[in-house]
Structures are given as C-alpha cells and as structure tokens.
Amino acid sequence: MSIVAALGHGPGNGPAPAPVRRARGGAYLLLAPGLAYLGLFFVVPVVALLATSLYVPVPGGDVGQFQPAFEWANYTRALATYWPQMVRSFAYALIATLAALVIAYPMAYVIAVRARGRVFLQGMLLVLVIAPFFTSFILRTVAWKQILADESFVVAAMRAVSLLPPDGRLTATSFAVVAGLTYNFLPFMTLPIYASLERLDPRLVEAGADLYANGPTTFWRVTLPLSMPGVVSGTLLTFIPASGDYVNSVLLGNNTTTMIGQVVDSRFFKVSDYPTAAALSVVLMVAILLLVTAYVRRSGTEELL
Amino acid sequence: MAALGDPAAATRAPGDEEGGARSGADLTLEHVTKEFGAFTAVDDLELTIPSGSFFALLGPSGCGKTTTLRMVAGLEHPTSGRVLIGGRDVTRTRAHERPVNTVFQSYALFPHLSVVENVAFGLRRRRAPDPLGKARDALELVELPHLADRRPAQLSGGQQQRVALARAIVNNPAVLLLDEPLGALDLKLRRQMQVELKRIQTEVGLTFVHVTHDQEEAMTMADTVAVMNAGRIEQMGSPAELYELPRTAFVANFLGQSNLLRGTVVENGAATLGVDVDGRRVRVPTARSVSTTGTVLVGVRPEKLHLLRAGDQAPESCNVLGPGRVTDVSFSGVSTQYQVHVPGLGTLGVFVQNILGGAGAALGEEVHLACAIKHTFALDGAEDATSGAVRLDARDV
Amino acid sequence: MSAPTARVGVGPVGPGPASGPRVPTTRRQGRPWRLGDAVVPLFAALAFLYLLVPIAYTVAFSFNDAGRSNLVWRGFTLANWANPCGAPQVCEALGNSLKVGVIATVVSTALGTLIALALVRYRFRGRALANLLVFLPMSTPEVVLGAALLAQFLSLRVNPGFGTVVAAHVMFCISFVVVTVKARVASLDPRLEEAAADLYSSPWQAFWRVTFPLLVPGILAAALLAFSLSFDDFIITNFNSGSFTTFPKFVYVSATRGIPPQANVIGSAMFALALLLVVSVQLVSVARRRRR
Ligand SMILES: Nc1ncnc2c1ncn2[C@@H]1O[C@H](COP(=O)(O)OP(=O)(O)O)[C@@H](O)[C@H]1O
Ligand SMILES: [Mg+2]
C-alpha cells in the first residue's frame, strides 16, 4: 500500500543520524543476494540489449536471425524512422505528468492537511487513492475506452450541448491517450506528495501565516517548497513509466498517437526486428536517465533513494 | 564484588533483601584512549570508581563523557587501555556480556513493548526467574506501577526517564551508567529527579556513574566528581574539595567562578608563599599551591572576597588588593554581585551576602578587596586564566 | 504493530503520530469562513471522482447480462458473480497472476530488505554503486526492462513462460522494496539496538527482538507494494511470458474481442478485498487506540 514509501524521500526523516558501523563484511553479506540478482536480471539484460542493438541480420538467414556486429547505423536508421514517436512519447508523458501534478496536489493536500487529525477520514481517502491498483489498470483503461466510446452517453450528451461537434469523438484521439496516462499514474503522483505534506509540521505553516499573513503566500513560500521532495518523486514516478507506456495509446488512441513503447513492442513481436527494437529501447533509457539526472540536480533533491 | 562472581546477584531485583551484598563493583579505567580517526575523544584516562559510590563525570559538551560511558558499556571499544569491572578485565567483552546497564540520554525505550516488558527485557534475555514480577517491583521503586501496561509513547518525558531507570536498575548491574539522564527534563522536574535518583541510589546501593554538564547537578548528587575537559580528567574529588581547592584553571572556572590573578613567586616559605601580583605582595598557603616557583595564578572565589569601603579595617591574616573602582552592581536579594576594576589586575567579581541589609558600595565608589590567606589558592602560571570560564560579557578578569 | 499501521499501513512514515508531540491542526478556529476554503476540497472531490469513475464502471458491468462481449448494458444479473470462472481462461490467468505475485513478493521482499539494511546501517566501499544499481531499474521504463530481459532470454535460448515472468517481476519489485524498507530503517533510532545490547541481547537477539518488530510495518508495506506492482504489471510480462497468461495480459488480449464480464467480477472482487483489508486494519487500530 505504500507507494508512499516508494517515494523515497529517503533517510532524513529519522531521528539523530545513526552511528554508522564500518563494514566488517556484514554489509556485503546482506547485499550479495539482492545485488547479484539485479546484476543477473538487470545489468546483464541491459548489456544484452546493448549488444542486440548493434546486431546485423544473418546474410541469407530467416526473419529474426541476427549475428553479433557493431552496426551503429541501427541507431541512426531507427531514429530517422521513429523520431516522431519518440518525441510524441516524451511530449505526452510531460503533459500527463503536469496534468497529474495539478490534479494530485489538491488531493494530497486535502488528505494530508485538511483531514489531519481525523484519522478515519484520512484513512478512507487514502484507501480511495490506493485501491485502484487492485483493479487491473488495463481493466480501468478499457473502462475509460467504453465510457468515452462514440456510442456512449457521455459523447451523446456532449454532442447534444455542443461541447463536441456532431461528428466529434473522445476515443481514438491524442487527448484520450494523455487523459488515460494522467489517470493511470495519478496515485503515483498523489502518494509521494501526500507523504511529504503529511510529514510537514503544521507549526511551520502557522509560523508562515504569522510572517506572511496571507494564505496563498504562505502556501508558495512555506508549504510548496517543503513538499518539493514529494513533488519530485511523484513527477519521476509518473513521467518515467508514462514515457514508455503503450497500453493507453493502443486502447485509447489511433495510428497517429503511436508512442515509442508501441514501436518497440511491434518491432519485437510483429516483425522480429530485434536490433531496431533494442536500439530504440537504449535511446529511450539513455534519454530518460539524462532527463532524470538533470531534473534531480536542478531540483536539489540529490539523495533520491 | 558480588555482582560479578555470582550470577545470581546480577539478576537479583532491587528490594530483594537476601544476600545484602548489592553494592555494585569497582570500575577502573587504565590509560584508556579513544580516537576517532585523527581526533582523540578520550585521552589516556585513569579512573577508579569505588563500589557503591555515586560518581559524577562532569564536563562541557563534547569533552568525551558519552564516549567514556560507551566504552564502559561496551558500545565503543578503546583504541588503547583497559576497562576493569570488579577487577575483571572486560576491555574485549562485548556489550551484552558486561554486567553494566545504561540509562540513555534519549531513554531509548522500545516503542513496540509495554512499559513492564521494557523493564523485563534484560531479565528475559538472561532468563531470570519471574521477570514480570521483578519488573513490577522495579516500577514500584520508581513509583510508576500504575503505568505498567502503557506504551512508552503514552508517557511524559519524566515518566519515560523513570522507566529507563527501572529498566536498567532491575538487572542489578555492577555499574549503572547514566548519560545526562535529566538533560531533557525541565528545571523543576530535574531538581525533583535529582533528589529521587539520589534516594534510589542510596536504596539499591549500586555504583552509579552519572554523566552531566551541569555542575550544580554533579555537586548536589555525587560523592565524587571528576571534571573532564577535552578528553582528560582535570581533577577528581568530593564536591567540596573541588570547589575549595581547584587544581587547574579549568576546574576553578567551570565549577563556580574564580578570580585568577597572574603573579610571580618571590618568597617560598614553609607555610605560605609570597607572590608578587603587579607589584603587590599576596600570600598563599604553600599546601594550596600547585606550583611553588615561577609564575602562578593566584585564585580566590568571589564570595571569599570582602569589600572594604573607605574607613573599613582589613581583617587579620588577609591579602588586601586595591584600591579599585566598582564598575557594576547587581542585587539579587540574597546577595549582591559587584564587579571591581583594580588597575593592573583587571576586573574582579565579589559576592556579598545580604546579611546587614541596607545600601552596599555604590557604583563608581573606590574600594579595597580583602581575602583570608587560607582561602586563596595558586595554580600553575602557564595556564590560561580564562579556561573553562562561562563568559557572559567581554570584560577580562 | 505500533502506531504506523494505524495510518492505513501507509508504511514508513516515520515513527508515527503517537510518539511525537501532539501537533495542532492547521485549521484556525474562529476565522471567518472564506470561499477559498471550499475551492481546494471541491477540486479534490472532482479528482476523486475522476479516479473512481472507471472503477464504478467496472463494478457495474460485472453485473451486466452481457453474453460474449461486455460493451453495452443488457440488464442486471448475478450470474457472472455466481460463476466467475465461467469465461475460458480467466481463472487460470488469475491463478497465474496470484502465483507469480506471491513468489515475486516473497523473494523481492527478502532480497530488498537485506539490501535496505545494508545501505542504511553500513558505510562501505561501493555504497554509491549499490545505490545506483537499486535506483536504475526504477528509472527505466517498463518497455526497456521488458525488451532487455527478452533480449537476454533470446540470446540464452530460454523459453519465455512462468519462470521468466517470475524472474522479471522479482527484479522490478526489489528496488521498490529497498526504497520502502530503507525509509523505515532510517527512521529507526539506532540507540534502540544499543539499548538491547546493553540489556544483554546478542546482536542476533537484538535484531529479532527489537529491530525486526519495528521494521515489520515497513516490510509489510513493501510486500504489499511489491504484490500490487506484480499483480498489475502488463508490459514487462507481455515481453517475457510467451504463451503464459497473467490476468492483465488476459484482459489486454481479450480487449480487442470484448472482455468477458467475469474479468470485471475478478477486478471488482480484488478491489473490494483490498478495501476490506485496509478498512479492517484501520478499524482494528482505531479500536486499539480507543481501548487505551
Ligand atoms: N562515532 C564518532 N565518530 C567521530 N567522532 C565522534 C564519534 N563519537 C563522538 N565523537 C566526537 O568525540 C567528542 C566527544 O564526544 P562525546 O563523548 O559524545 O562528548 P560529550 O558526551 O562529552 O558531549 C566530540 O567531539 C564528538 O564529536
Ligand atoms: Mg554526551
């Protein structure tokens, strides 16, 4: 239930710094199994991915047969063909992240600050944020698809009051894809912000009110800056998965809303073009790492973990 | 003594009358040094604490008190030197194998256990019979039997402090270590707990090692006080001994206040020294002098100085300083504190008990200062006269 | 368990309110009510609505007398609930998801907890590298993780299936477990372990008697998180499952032809179960607090 925790504002909320022990092998013993696992199932696969991205087809071989090589042209070719999907993915993810932030912050604020002290209410509201995880997110996305379908009463009603032109639709649009992304990652945005607001000492806000004497100013000068770690975690936990997602664009979009994840998936499974799929994956991973590093540096919350 | 050789003694609850030998054990530190990297936190410490005594380790924050306690508890290991409890070398023994218990400054009560389970924790680990009964007895001793089933978070600071005490005492340790146990309490509660702690120590007769930076606390509670500074013990003795005859400038200033005047020994008699202080002759008992040649710091406590106004007669066998001018008068009801500037000596503090009532010396008045020879003392002249002083203002002594 | 569970097990949110000083609420009593006070809750209410509409839809359509495709409302029935396994494969997929979820949760929670303990409690050479290795999988999109694992399995000629899915799930759950438990370990007062040692506990006893009980809320939160991540994962699973089907994959695949209402039943039941679990945990802790 605690994605809240996943947010990782890391240590720093604890009491006095721990008198840390010097490793007497103990640390390595504790780390060994887990890190070996990550090495085997994360590092090695990423290396395999890098290798695959440079493969060339076996001359005269079947579809899906490749041999090791250093074909850097795979990258230029993949990017030349698929840069629109790449750019679109980041654009959609960015818009969805900002939208989720705008929607999630007031939710988190109400749960953490307005409901403070009312344990049961606070608990219930939190459950409502967390519980969607347990209905499959695909089921919920399909639900959106059907709620917004052309023949649904939502569309009929919007057409009736001219919110939509008579032939206007809600599904199969980029709006629907972004709305779906926003929707699906909303809890990942809400919970970290909730966690940082929850931890915020109300006396600081009162001191702020005392000094600035005006609600909005206190919010901008005190509350928001203090909740920044939550905002940073939330935006990362939304942006990263959103940029690689393709379920929303498949279920809610059309062939002009294709995202990069969709391309990787179809290169792998439909045409067995492993090198292109791998090259695109590597580009996506590197781009996100660069973005995340720059973002974390800028926002000054280095110790993210 | 009993606590070590006899495992039963160590698990005996307080209030347990049989045996009677519950006076704890001697604690000895031999040349104990603790370095953290290049920094020496505890420097060649020599210390013997007799069994059954209430011993205070007094020093300013950061002087190495906690580190010393932690080495006794086994939570830290000395870089060199030995720790002996009841004559047994425990330097290499780990914390859980030492017959020592600690009352932590932050109490460190286990939040997931009830109060009585907290107190019974050590007994259970040692498989003592009837841990809950003994834990309840210990709670009785600290007057909290009614809170046995609460969680620590539901107690006030003072109550938590008592639980921490009970949790340690119930194990009947050879040595009980208290690390600034009253530091987090407000002044009134602190005074009350000082009395309480002293009562409990008398009652259970354990060896208490009490760490504090509060000189008043140390002096009111302890049989023996060791003053620690920068990782070293400056002086050790009964509170009265330390106060009446400090042997270093640090002790003279940290325990109460002192007027320290730099001078040169010019006359070395068997009973008294003659010291030249800025051209005046001051006498100091030879027995009260750390150094009997060369430069010395002549010291006198402010309450031992008498103000001589124009026409007053100097008492017998006194050193007289002055004339000086009164630069500050602050009346506090019980006494009046004067600052008197004596040209060539600097500013001296004087406490005058308000016995006679009425007006004392006025601001700007010219006075002389007198002090019985037997109350003066002399320190090594190489020392910094302001070491350990709490400076409330920038004026020099 | 102690106070933190009271907070709906939101996990390691510090020592919990019970141990701190009582803090006042921010509502200033006696201040005149302003329109602004209502705007934020109103906005939040709309956001909650947004969050819950598709769930309501899913639950409603679990009662649809649907026939093959569950697209339009055809009338109320309890038949789907009476026979949740009525549609081909749906229960098999659910069973697979539960199996994968449980194994992935147990393994990743164990491995992640150990890593978290090491990272918080020790300073050692390579600590930054270990931190990075934990952080990287979290900052890599699922497609990339899925593609990388598939590339590896292909090059090793491993046939995708149950085993590869479990292996993949453990991998992406570990990092989340580490972060969750780490926060809890960091909020533990190290003096408690010293106090345990001082009270005659060997390091082993101190861990099991003091450290571990205090970590339990954090470990449970991490396990729950791992389970929900695994149970809800589609993309990585899709890359590495071959013909093996999990519940999300089943829903995705059948989405083109129409999802059977039994899938809605299962989704709704999981939702209700989660709700019930959390609410009862909360009621218990509220009751416990009252009793004191
Ligand atoms: N684990 C440690 N590592 C490095 N320095 C330490 C450590 N523990 C204590 N010190 C240093 O040793 C000195 C003495 O500390 P301490 O014994 O806690 O002082 P006290 O209890 O007298 O205030 C301080 O300067 C402190 O910074
Ligand atoms: Mg200390």
Q: Per-residue DSSP letters for A186-241?
A: HHHHHHHHHHHHHHS-HHHHHHHHHHH-SHHHHIIIIIHHHTHHHHHHHHHHHHHH
3-class SS of residue B102: strand
Specify the CATH number of the domain B7-243: 3.40.50.300
Q: All domains of chain A, ordered by start, with CATH?
A: 3-46 (no CATH), 74-304 (1.10.3720.10)
**Chain A residues with beta carbon closer than 8 angstroms to that of C168:** 41
Helical (H) or strand (E) element with C1:
none
Residue C192 Cα to ligand 1 middle (Å) = 19
Q: Provide the terminal-to-terminal Cα distance of chain A, rounded to the nearest Å.
A: 18
Could you tell me if the CB of B61 is within 6 A of ligand 1? yes
Quick one: pLDDT band at residue C154, thresholds 50, 70, 90? confident
Q: What's phi and psi for A241, nearest 5 deg? A: -70, -30
pTM of the complete model: 0.80
Contact between C151 and A48 under an 8 Å Cβ cutoff? The reply is: yes
Total CB pairs under 8 A between chain A and C: 376
Q: Identify which of B107, B69, B58 has the alpha carbon closest to the alpha carbon of residue B214.
A: B58
Interatomic CA distance for residues A74 and A77, integer angstroms: 5
Q: Provide the terminal-to-terminal Cα distance of chain B, rounded to the nearest Å.
A: 48
Quote the pLDDT of residue C6: 29
pLDDT of chain B along its 397 residues, tens only? 333 333 334 433 343 333 333 456 889 999 999 999 899 999 999 999 989 899 999 999 899 999 999 999 999 999 999 999 988 999 999 999 999 999 998 899 999 999 999 999 999 999 999 999 999 999 998 889 999 999 999 999 889 999 999 999 999 999 999 999 888 788 888 888 898 889 889 888 889 999 999 988 999 999 999 999 999 999 999 999 999 999 999 999 999 889 999 999 998 888 899 999 988 899 999 999 998 888 999 999 999 999 888 888 888 888 988 789 999 999 888 889 999 999 988 899 999 888 877 667 888 899 999 999 999 999 998 888 888 886 554 444 3
What are the sequence ranges of the domains in chain C?
A: 94-259, 261-292
What is the residue whose two structure tokens read 């935006």? Answer: A235
How many other C-beta atoms can be found within 10 angstroms of the C-beta atom of residue A281? Answer: 33
Helical (H) or strand (E) element with C289:
helix C261-291
Quick one: pLDDT band at residue C85, thresholds 50, 70, 90? confident
* Nearest ligand 1 atom to alpha carbon B179: 21
- What does the DSSP 8-state code read for residue C26? S
Among A12-26, A242-256, B59-73, B254-268, the range scoring the smallest mean pLDDT is A12-26
State mean pLDDT over A159-167.
81
Quote the pLDDT of residue A224: 86
Output helix, strand, coil percentages for chain B, rounded to the nearest 5: 25, 35, 40
Interatomic CA distance for residues C227 and C231, integer angstroms: 6
Query: Sign of torsion, CA B300 B306 B307 B310?
Result: negative
Interatomic CA distance for residues C91 and C238, integer angstroms: 18
Interatomic CA distance for residues A111 and C44, integer angstroms: 9
Could you tell me if the CB of B64 is within 6 A of ligand 1? yes
CATH class of B257-380: mainly beta
* Nearest ligand 1 atom to alpha carbon B60: 22
State mean pLDDT over C126-144.
91
Q: Identify which of B109, B74, B76, B102 has the alpha carbon closest to the alpha carbon of residue B88.
A: B74
Interatomic CA distance for residues B289 and B299, integer angstroms: 10
3-class SS of residue A277: helix
Residue C210 Cα to ligand 2 middle (Å) = 24
Neighbours of chain C (3+ CB pairs under 8 A): A, B
Query: Sign of torsion, CA A152 A154 A157 A162?
Result: negative
Contact between C109 and C219 under an 8 Å Cβ cutoff? The reply is: yes
When CB atoms are compared, the residue of C189, C199, C214 closest to B121 is C199
Contact between A82 and A280 under an 8 Å Cβ cutoff? The reply is: yes
Q: Which DSSP string do the residues of C125-180 spell out, in sequence order?
A: TTHHHHHHHHHHHHTS-HHHHHHHHHHHHHHTTPPPSHHHHHHHHHHHHHHHHHHH
What is the residue whose two structure tokens read 């409690």? Answer: C121
State mean pLDDT over A147-151.
82
Q: Which residue of B has its CA nearest to C204?
A: B96
Q: Examine the pLDDT at C195 and tell me if it is beyond 50.
A: yes
Residue B220 Cα to ligand 1 middle (Å) = 26
- Tell me: cis bond preceding B239? Omega within 30 of 0 counts: no
Among A9-23, B74-88, B381-395, C25-39, the range scoring the smallest mean pLDDT is A9-23
Q: Examine the pLDDT at C105 and tell me if it is beyond 70.
A: yes
Tokens of A205: 């806000």
Q: Examine the pLDDT at C25 and tell me if it is beyond 70.
A: no
When CB atoms are compared, the residue of C2, C198, C200 closest to B111 is C2
Quote the pLDDT of residue C257: 80
Residue B62 Cα to ligand 1 middle (Å) = 6
Total CB pairs under 8 A between chain B and C: 76
Helical (H) or strand (E) element with A4:
helix A3-6
State mean pLDDT over A127-136.
83
* Interface membership of C171 toward B (CB under 8 Å): no
Residue B104 Cα to ligand 2 middle (Å) = 10
What are the sequence ranges of the domains in chain B?
A: 7-243, 257-380
* Nearest ligand 1 atom to alpha carbon B67: 17
Quote the pLDDT of residue A38: 96
- Per-residue exposure over C170-204, b if at least 16 CB sit within 10 Å of its own CB, e if not: bbbbbbbbbbbbbbbbbbbbbbbbbbbbbbbbbee
Interatomic CA distance for residues C116 and C131, integer angstroms: 10
Q: Examine the pLDDT at C210 and tell me if it is beyond 90.
A: yes
Alpha helices by DSSP H, chain B? 2-5, 7-11, 65-73, 115-125, 131-141, 157-169, 187-204, 215-221, 239-244, 249-254
CA angle C241, C244, C250 (to 5 degrees): 100
Could you tell me if the CB of A19 is within 6 A of ligand 1? yes
Q: CB-hemisphere CA count at 13 Å for C262?
A: 20
Give percent of chain C above pLDDT 90.
50
- Per-residue exposure over B387-397, b if at least 16 CB sit within 10 Å of its own CB, e if not: bbbeeeeeeeb
Interatomic CA distance for residues B374 and B392, integer angstroms: 29
Pocket probe for ligand 1: among B32, B40, B61, B66, the residue whose CB has the most ligand atoms within 8 Å is B66
Quick one: pLDDT band at residue A27, thresholds 50, 70, 90? confident
Name the closest ligand to CA B40: 1
State mean pLDDT over A97-110.
94
Could you tell me if the CB of A17 is within 6 A of ligand 1? no
Quote the pLDDT of residue C8: 29
CA A35 vs CA A31, A44, C108: distances in Å: 6, 12, 11
Q: Which residue of C has its CA nearest to A12?
A: C186
How far apart are the CA of B104 and the nearest CA of chain C, in angstroms?
A: 8
Quick one: pLDDT band at residue C292, thresholds 50, 70, 90? low
Quote the pLDDT of residue A88: 95
- How does the average pLDDT of chain C come out, rounded? 83
Where is pLDDT greater, at A152 or C139?
Answer: C139
Quote the pLDDT of residue B391: 55
Interface of B to C at Cβ within 8 Å reads 73-75, 94-97, 100-102, 104, 106, 108-112, 121-122, 125-126, 150-154, 167-168, 171
Q: What's phi and psi for B89, nearest 5 deg? A: -75, 115
Neighbours of chain A (3+ CB pairs under 8 A): C
Quick one: pLDDT band at residue A51, thresholds 50, 70, 90? very high
Beta strands in C163-281 (DSSP E): none
How far apart are the CA of A299 and the nearest CA of chain C, in angstroms?
A: 16
- How does the average pLDDT of chain A come out, rounded? 84
Q: Which residue of B has its CA nearest to C193?
A: B108
CATH topology for C94-259? MetI-like fold (1.10.3720)
* Interface membership of C192 toward B (CB under 8 Å): yes
* Nearest ligand 1 atom to alpha carbon B36: 4
When CB atoms are compared, the residue of A136, A274, A292 closest to C248 is A136
Interatomic CA distance for residues B387 and B253, integer angstroms: 7
Residue B59 Cα to ligand 2 middle (Å) = 10
B357: left (phi over 0), alpha (psi -120 to 50) or beta: left
At B87, the amino acid letter reads G
When CB atoms are compared, the residue of A11, A19, A45 closest to C120 is A11
Flag if C221 and A114 touch (Cβ within 8 Å): no
Quick one: pLDDT band at residue C22, thresholds 50, 70, 90? very low
Q: Which residue of A has its CA nearest to C69?
A: A146
Interatomic CA distance for residues C287 and A140, integer angstroms: 34
Q: Examine the pLDDT at C24 and tell me if it is beyond 70.
A: no
